[in-house]
Chain A
Amino acid sequence: MAVLGAFALLALPALLPTAALVGLGPTTVFAVPLGGALLAALAAVGELAVGGSLLTWFVVLAIVVNVAAAVGLWRRWRGPRTHRARPGWAAATIAVVAAAAAEPLLGLKAQMVGFDATAIWMQHALFIYGGHHTLLADLKNPVYGFTNPDYPPLVPASSALTFISTGHVDFPLGVDMTAILNASALGVIGCGIAASVAGKSAAARWLGIVLGASVCLIGFGIAGMYGVNGYADLLWAASAVAAIVFGLVLARSPRHLAATWMFASVAGLTKNEGLTTAVVILVLVAIRYLPSPARRLSGHRGVQGWARLWAQRLGAALVLAVPGLSWAGVAKLDGIGNSFFSGSRPEPVLQRVGPTVSGLWAHLHLLPLAGVVLVAGGLVLAKARRTAGWGNALWLWAVLGASLAALAASYVFGSLAIAWWLYTSVERTTIFAQVVIYCELALWALVAVSNGTAVAADRQRRGQLIRRRTKARAAA
């Protein structure tokens, strides 16, 4: 019951704003808890930057965004009706994806509170729960340096809200909330994959739902016990992948852009790696949504024109990244840092490259298969992908490459002993890359199947047309 009360406090204020941003559909069901967590994280940013308590900021933000969302929804309701998902397919998507996302939550029975969950996320939750002065003093206290003080506040703020809802500190309850957020983020990916084949044949749609649900299960499988013991790695990874699916794969639309912003903000406010990846995603989304005009229409575009276009793109990406960057900015201003890059490295840089590459590679065994599928799909199925309005597959690979490069650079240039660092973290830091690879395989499989059924339907239609013409000629 306690977890239901905590969940209601987190999710209910986000119901209307999420519906206004993402629209009404299966994705909304899973996006609402993420919206609540985003509000909680922004409330924690306000608490650190200005003062006051988490609850005060959460209530103020909830009122402001709900009024704005109500106005937006009222205007939309009065305007022309847009296309809505058919209720049957929406219900099927929600049921299957929710079942898949909920099954791994059975692991919560163990009530595990992992090492980092206690040392980092629950400590930060206590700091936030204690109010502005406690938060600022404890994050700057060298004794609490082991908590990585500059880590973003989304997970601890959500846990602190659960403490507020019950009136006492309860670590397993905070862990439950993190696991529910993990499941929600994976559910959003599942719905995105299912939505990618909306309007296609029934077979393709069922396959989309099954593959989307499978990604939820596989995400938890990759994370292992870190999915249910309070770690934040699965949450940032799944949110970032959701941002990729909505921003760089699905057809361009204002709804998808709003959803991308929301999920990238969640990723950016969950972990530092999430912020780096979210910024890369948002820059690519800005490039995709503000494309270069066709050469034949642009005429002679000078250097100024290109500079203006790139300034627009980077400006748009920066505006979209404001929530994620807000915590990093406030932490920087307050002199809050971490120990990853301070101090001297125990090994020379070159000696760290080999272990880093082999450590990462050990968790990316599906990468070659995904590469082969990319080449084969790109050669044969690229047109079908374009016809469906999907983004180029290389967008996804660009994010994957940039994320892995940033990760490798952190390990190589960081100041912790490389063997110990890789041993304790690499299986978590590669969750994002692994989920991206599974998504890529799912999307190409959907292109293959939906294109196949589309070609068969097209042939059937063509045959009917020829038969009708032949009959008409014979009659004439």
Chain B
Amino acid sequence: MTDTRVSRAEPRRSRTPRHARGRPPTASGGRARLVVRAGVTVAAVAAFVPGVVHSFDETAAVRRPFFVAGALDASRQAACVQATAHRTIPRGSRIFISNTNGNYSQLVAEAVTLWAVPTSRASDARWNVSMYYGPGGCWLHLRVVPER
């Protein structure tokens, strides 16, 4: 009886017929490959060109005077609120922010970071701080009263 099993150590043979091994691909196969290569390259170019143009547009948009002026106004107002907080709230004191408006309470908390200690309970605080909108200064004012 003949042993037909192949040794495990023997490398698996290629399925390519012997006459085709080591030869360049057929004309039709080569053409298909060329088409796919061209298609992939065109797809990449089609995606990349608008992407790069969009990037230049974004940078130009951010540098417009409108944007620059808006950013400057925002940073001026934040600095003004912070200066008011530092002027009116004693350093290191515990404060309770009584605004129900989340935006205002957040602005106050941001303005007093590293200056005062905001607490979530009024009973733990020495000062009651609230923000209100009105003319004059930076249009955002702080009312600081002793907490009872």
Chain A residues packing against B (C-beta within 8 Å): 103-104, 106-107, 109-113, 118-119, 123, 126-127, 129-130, 134, 137-138, 141-144, 146, 169, 171-172, 211, 214, 217-218, 220-222, 224-225, 227-228, 296, 366, 369, 372-373, 376-377, 379-381, 438, 441-442, 444-445, 447-449, 451-452, 455, 459, 462
Contact = CB atoms under 8 A, between A and B. Distances in A.
A126 B114 contact: yes
Contacts of A445: 40-41, 43-45
B106 interface: yes
Nearest to B68: A110
Q: Which of A172, A441, A447: most chain B CB closer than 10 A?
A: A441
Interface in B40-62: 40-41, 43-48, 51-52, 54-59, 61-62
B110 interface: yes
A220 B36 CA distance: 30
A123 B40 contact: no
Contacts of A444: 40, 44
B83 to A, nearest CB: 13
Q: Is the interface of A mostly helix, strand, loop or mixed?
A: helix
A111 B72 contact: yes
Given A126-B114, A441-B47, 9 more contacts: A112-B71, A142-B120, A143-B119, A221-B56, A380-B36, A442-B44, A445-B45, A447-B40, A448-B36
Contacts of B97: 143
B144 interface: no
Contact of B36 (A113, A225, A366, A376): A376
A366 B43 CA distance: 10
A107 B61 CA distance: 8
Contact of A113 (B54, B75, B117, B119): B75
Interface string B8-35: 1100100000000000100000001110
Contacts of B71: 110-113
B48 A130 contact: no
Given A126-B113, A218-B51, A441-B48, A107 B59 contact: yes
B118 A141 contact: yes
A411 B118 CA distance: 31
Q: Which of A222, A373, A438: most chain B CB closer than 10 A?
A: A373
B110 A119 contact: yes
Nearest to B9: A296
A274 B67 CA distance: 30
